[in-house]
């Protein structure tokens, strides 16, 4: 007999399946390296749950942030610490899609998203200060298009025929498209 699960259970399983223990170990080692501490065999999500380590991480990487975090067992204080980290990360330049939600960490709803945020945070911190070690690949830099317009001093449109090909002067008239009239599907001789 097939088991029945809810959509919430299915989504939770999907999110947990994306969590990679190897990536979590790398993130933990990265944090230990930056803070100069050893957290032993404790799980990464348990270390980060109260938000204190995240705030300390921001303060070490960007001392100008000077986050005022609190060490407490109260859930709302811990979630506030996590929120302070997320605001600091956003101000560092992390895009919204790379940031986890507070409950993703506090309730361990989406640990894979927490790892993605840490990786993105390391890339943006490294871009700002090259002394910060990377967790994962380096942040890409924008490169200029190698295509040059043959006429100097002429404004180039957002798209040009040199990049996308010449359309041969196609327009509504030459393509026999007339708006507002009936369109016949059959070919007429």
Q: pLDDT category, 14, cuts 50, 70, 90?
A: confident
* Stretch 151-177: mean pLDDT: 59
Which contacts of 31-34 are long-range, i.e. CB under 8 A and separated by 24 or more positions? 31/57, 31/118, 33/133, 34/60, 34/61, 34/132, 34/133
What's the CA gap between 159 and 149, in Å, rounded? 11
CATH for 85: 1.10.418.10
Does the residue 18 lie in any domain?
yes
* Residue 39 structural domain: 13-128
As a whole number, the mean pLDDT across the chain is: 83
Residue 161 lies inside a defined structural domain of this protein: no
Please check the confidence at residue 54 and state whether its pLDDT lies above 80. yes
* Residue 135 covered by a domain: no
To the question of pTM greater than 0.75 for the whole model, the response is no
Query: Which contacts qualify for 95-103: CB closer than 8 Å, 24 or more apart?
Result: 95/120
Measured CA to CA, the distance from residue 39 to residue 49 in angstroms comes to 14
Instruction: Check if the beta carbon of residue 162 is closer than 8 Å to that of residue 149.
Output: yes
CB 57, CB 34: distance < 8 Å: yes
Q: Which residue has the higher pLDDT, 151 or 74?
A: 74
Number of domains in the chain: 1
Does residue 110 form part of some domain? yes
* pLDDT tens string 62-113: 888 889 999 999 999 999 999 999 999 999 999 999 999 999 999 988 899 9
State residue 122's pLDDT score. Answer: 93
Query: 157 in a domain, yes or no?
Result: no
Is residue 165 in a domain? no
Q: Show the tokens assigned to 1.
A: 């007999």
Whether 82 is in a domain gets the answer yes
């Amino acid at each position: 007999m097939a088991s029945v699960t809810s959509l919430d259970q299915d989504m939770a399983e999907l999110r947990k399946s994306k969590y990679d223990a190897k990536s979590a170990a790398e993130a933990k080692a990265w944090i230990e390296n930056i803070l100069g501490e050893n957290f032993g065999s404790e799980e990464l999500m348990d270390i980060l749950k109260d938000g204190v380590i995240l705030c300390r991480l921001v303060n070490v990487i960007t001392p100008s942030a000077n986050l005022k975090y609190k060490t407490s067992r109260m859930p709302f204080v811990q979630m506030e610490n996590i929120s302070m980290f997320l605001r600091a990360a956003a101000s560092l330049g992390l895009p919204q899609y790379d940031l986890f939600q507070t409950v993703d960490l506090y309730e361990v709803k989406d640990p894979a998203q927490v790892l993605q945020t840490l990786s993105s945070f390391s890339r943006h911190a490294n871009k700002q200060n090259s002394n910060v070690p990377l967790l994962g690949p380096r942040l890409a830099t924008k490169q200029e298009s190698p295509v040059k317009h043959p006429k100097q001093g002429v404004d180039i449109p957002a798209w040009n025929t040199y990049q996308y090909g010449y359309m041969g002067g196609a327009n509504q008239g030459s393509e026999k498209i007339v708006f507002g009239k009936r369109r016949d599907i059959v070919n007429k001789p």
